[in-house]
Chains A and B, each alone.
Chain A
Amino acid sequence: MSEQTIAETELAQDEEQSSHVSVQVLTFLLDDEVYGVDIRQIQEVLEYRKVTRVPRSQPFLLGVINLRGKVVPVLDLRRLFDMTLAEITVNTCIVIIDILLDGEKVSIGILTDAVREVVELPVSEISAPPRIGSRVNNRFINGMGKHEGDFIVILDVQKVMADEEFNAMLDVVSDEALADEEGDSSDNSGHD
């Protein structure tokens, strides 16, 4: 218990310190734009491997892969952000990100067109997400950085996962099934 609290405080301190200096961001390409994720969230980068699809799930959930014995879901950001779909190429990578989901640490893969590099961005040069003009919903963006002439959209995957709309989409399937069931048994109001 106490260890965890210590770890958390350290993390918080880390965040505080780095926010005064700079952030290291792994950059990757998605539909010809440069995106970045804080490397502290990133567990590893995998070459594309066969993703086993889970039939009848949301399209942006690409499927699952085997990561050293763990079954890890892979997100297709192009579908999530309504971009045009692309073929899998030799450059396609799966970036494994650790996030907290309902207090539980889970790994999630995100499909990227290509992984570029780790860049260090001074915090002072990261600007707030633009109100308009971004293809990705503002809610999922931590900020915009600039590196060697490229704009980097810094994503917050944790925010994506915590997003209500996103979760509502996940629940759609089960809700429908439930609604159907109720309709089936000629609407009883017994769900109290």
Chain B
Amino acid sequence: MIAPLETFQIEAREHLVNLEAALLELEEQPEESEAIDTAFRAIHTIKGAAGMFGFQQLTDFAHHLETALDKLRQGKLDVSKTFIEIFLDAGDLMAEMLEDTEFSAGQTISSEKLLERLYQIAPEDDPRKSLIQAPEVQGEPASEEAIYRVRFKPDRDSFKNGFDAMPVLRELTSLGTAEVICKHENLPAFNQLEPQASYLSWELLLVTEASKDTLMDAFMFVADEWQIQVDEIDIHDTDEDADKLGELLVARGNVAKQALDEALGEKPAIGSLLKEQGVVQEEEVKAALKEQQLTRKVKAKKQAGKSQATVRVPAEKLDSLMNLVGELVIVQARLNQVSDAVNNDDIEGIAEELELLTTQMRDETFGIRMMPIGSTFGRFRRLVRDLSSELGKSIQLDTQGADTELDKVVLDKLADPLIHLIRNSIDHGIEPTEDRLALGKTPTGNILLSASHADSQVVITIKDDGRGLNKDKIKAKAIEKQLITSKDQLTDEQIHQLIFEPGFSTAAKVSDISGRGVGMDVVKRSIMELGGKLSIDSAVGEGTELTIRLPMTLAIIEGLMVAVGTEYYVLPLNNVEECIELTQSNTHAKTRRRIVELRGQQIPYLSLREWFEVPGDEPPIQQVVITHSGSERFGFCVDEVVGQYQTVIKRLGKLYEGVSGFSGATILGDGSVAMILDPVALIDSVSSSEFGENTTQPIRMQS
């Protein structure tokens, strides 16, 4: 179970994300009242929750923000750029504050500075009251007082979970004049008392101007766990005495007679008040009861709906579910093998049915881990906003396909590379406004971030309408950095790809944002680690388009199983083009790469038997599996192509981190393990050992 404090922090962070999104929306559409509401809700919730967990400074800070937002909501303030800026900074500060309850002096100073800025545009009027007279109360005549009967009983584990009754009591009593009765009839004998459990319940009689909703707000964070009841006592019907009320209350089973007597006896003030004003006719109570029943029903419905909407599940649980489904897929493959072998109709039927279910279950499980990519778009918008104002450029970020889904693991690892690429577009791609105008372009630069599904892949593109890549400059730079020689004949794409080389940086000046040349190669590597590909397309003066292709999930791939000697290997099917028989091999080549001819095209191939040093002799007829990576094609020579195989990828672990050429391992139907090949990495490691002089590796292998 996740600790309550952690839950609070997670949720608060989510609220901050919502706040940021709302603010950015507001900046574009200042009239968007829904965005104001979202922002308000986020701050209000954080404020309340922070209070419950003792984040006093955060609560105070949020309170000021809330006040200002409320003014915005009431139209007393206008959305300005400064306003948005202050709030964005405030959001960042709150994220910092969330990390610990002990606030550093630095945080205190920055929060005060921020508030100072805030009050320059939104003068503070009577700071404390504005909260209480929250908008719910607006419009109601101020003099309208009501009496509420508030009863609540914290659940047994309440204290353990970090929810104290005191903050609730404090908030309620601050709303008006209150009489508080603590009920302790559930308290067990001393020797049975669990010190951490909560046995008490409370009853309040509250005279206040606030609405019932405001009262309920006090219970915002415990509404699901605690028994809570808030009733308005009708004070307009006179003529009845307190005794009648007592009877009513007792009859309604809400209060033990004794408790009422206690209340009346010990607290003459409230008793006489009730008497004075008279209380509640039977019909009224019945009506109230009905109303209450109705509201309860509505509330129950609402809550049921709420709990259906989302369930928070720890990521580990999902991982283990995934593993189990993976196991199931493997067992399914085994069953299929067996059923093929025994040739029994009954078993075959079962196997088929099970296969159907397994596939369905697999898809469902994978669906759970899928997250819309739009959840990360928010922070890119912020990035563009901050950087463009820092650089004095005017840039608009458009997004498409926010609902495109990706495995959460992939999504998490994708965020940093995307940030890098967008930064690059802002820093190097888009020109300053004057330059754009001189070129006859729109003054505002445009970056389009889009995501879509294509086959079993997710395609993400980042397209800007900036200056584009300067091929000559790149070439000159690459020669200067000795990445290429001046004699090299490179295609446009090859030239563009040079910017992903380590140590390459085209910007003349090193800026804060990018230009140290450490970014792009890291970006490429991390995308390749995700099994993705990065391609680049650019036209000078028109802009640059970066395309990232990613597999939808990292856990299961369609593979092609091949055999070499007694060993089995799996090639990812989406790399495989075709399989051909090896009729003539070019034995003259000294390198490990050899050439096979396919429809007039010469394709280099690698003999797995040789490279992997598989013992035994070559069979008379060998197969070559032709694979492709981008526009490059190469073959792998194997003894036999076994067939298509759906595989669950298992990590090889730290001990094998140094070995390249494999993306993992999988478990075969008979329970043994087969290695999954990574064709690109394999070819890379072959070519690097060919060109490197010290091929000590194979020598050591023989020892």
Contacts and interface: CB of A to CB of B under 8 A. Distances in A.
Interface in B254-292: none
Contacts of A61: 655-656
Nearest to B655: A73
Contacts of B396: none
B7 to A, nearest CB: 13
B503 interface: yes
B653 A106 contact: yes
Interface residues of A, number: 45
B662 to A, nearest CB: 7
B344 interface: no
A69 interface: yes
B660 interface: yes
Nearest to A171: B658
B670 to A, nearest CB: 9
Interface stretch (B113-121, B223-231, B387-395, B691-699): B691-699
A188 interface: yes
A173 interface: yes
B40 interface: no
Interface in B660-703: 660-662, 664-665, 667, 671-675, 684-685, 688-689, 691-694, 696-697, 700-701, 703
Contact of B501 (A65, A180, A185): A185
B298 interface: no
B287 to A, nearest CB: 51
A168 to B, nearest CB: 10
Contacts of A56: 611-613, 659, 661, 685, 697, 701
A186 B664 CA distance: 31
Contacts of A181: 688
A176 B697 contact: yes
Interface string A47-72: 00010111111110101111001110
Contact of A66 (B673, B685, B696): B673
Given A108-B655, A180-B692, A192-B518, A70 B503 contact: no
B665 A64 contact: yes
B503 A173 contact: no
Given A73-B656, A190-B504, A1 B3 contact: yes
Nearest to A57: B659
Contacts of A106: 653-654
Given A73-B652, A73-B656, A173-B660, A185 B671 contact: no
Interface string A136-174: 000000000000000000000000000000000011111
Interface of A: 1, 50, 52-59, 61, 63-66, 69-71, 73, 101-102, 104, 106, 108, 170-177, 179-181, 183-192
Given A183-B692, A188-B503, 19 more contacts: A52-B675, A56-B661, A56-B685, A57-B656, A58-B658, A66-B671, A69-B330, A70-B650, A71-B673, A73-B655, A104-B654, A106-B654, A108-B655, A170-B655, A176-B689, A183-B691, A188-B481, A188-B502, A192-B518
